[in-house]
Chain A
Amino acid sequence: AQSVTQLGSHVSVSEGALVLLRCNYSSSVPPYLFWYVQYPNQGLQLLLKYTTGATLVKGINGFEAEFKKSETSFHLTKPSAHMSDAAEYFCAVSSFSSGSARQLTFGSGTQLTVLP
């Protein structure tokens, strides 16, 4: 079974500082990995995804993530945090369930707080 682990349920950074949110995956096959963001009282929005090819993936709002197979990681970064980045961030892996249907398995989430 595939799974993801997000290290740190809460991360605080100062405005303008580097954002680093950690995600490690467990998979017996090449993984397809995602980062989603959830703003307060809203649904999830895709930030970026890795399927194949270039291991450094750029997403929306200045975020990027690097797939590192040797470290089984897919950490999310942003060079300079903005107040509007405060949200819950979820790492997810796509896997096949029974019946050859894909499903997303989510990590437990990381709450990002941006301090003025």
Chain B
Amino acid sequence: DTAVSQTPKYLVTQMGNDKSIKCEQNLGHDTMYWYKQDSKKFLKIMFSYNNKELIINETVPNRFSPKSPDKAHLNLHINSLELGDSAVYFCASSRSRSGSFPDTQYFGPGTRLTVL
């Protein structure tokens, strides 16, 4: 069973389009994350939700909007796609958001977005 799954795996689209990436985790975790990995493999956090509540919102354009219908799902919607949005987007989850020690984050397989 896949712990953290993402769909689609590949996404090729034109500039200006709107697209969504879906993420689901079956680990029973409370916290989910979106990361962006650029062409140089640099990973940066974008958002984090804890039990459907937004808790981390890094400096990300307003065109990116996360949506969490329940704590097992965190989807990423991107409006008016730009060339610079091309990257690999990873979803991750962890048991909790805080606590004395950090919980392990489990990552999905990634979605490679290409904007033409």
Interface on A for B, CB 8 Å cutoff? Answer: 32, 34, 36, 38, 41-46, 49, 51-52, 88, 90, 94, 96-106, 108-109, 111
Contacts and interface: CB of A to CB of B under 8 A. Distances in A.
Interface of B: 4, 31, 33, 40-45, 48, 50, 55-56, 90, 92, 94, 97-99, 101-110
B97 A102 contact: yes
Contacts of A51: 101-102
A70 B56 CA distance: 32
A102 B104 contact: no
Contacts of B94: 102
Nearest to B44: A106
A44 B107 contact: yes
Given A42-B110, A43-B110, A45-B107, 5 more contacts: A98-B56, A99-B55, A100-B98, A102-B103, A103-B48
A43 B109 contact: yes
Contacts of A32: 101-102
Contact of A43 (B45, B48, B90): B90
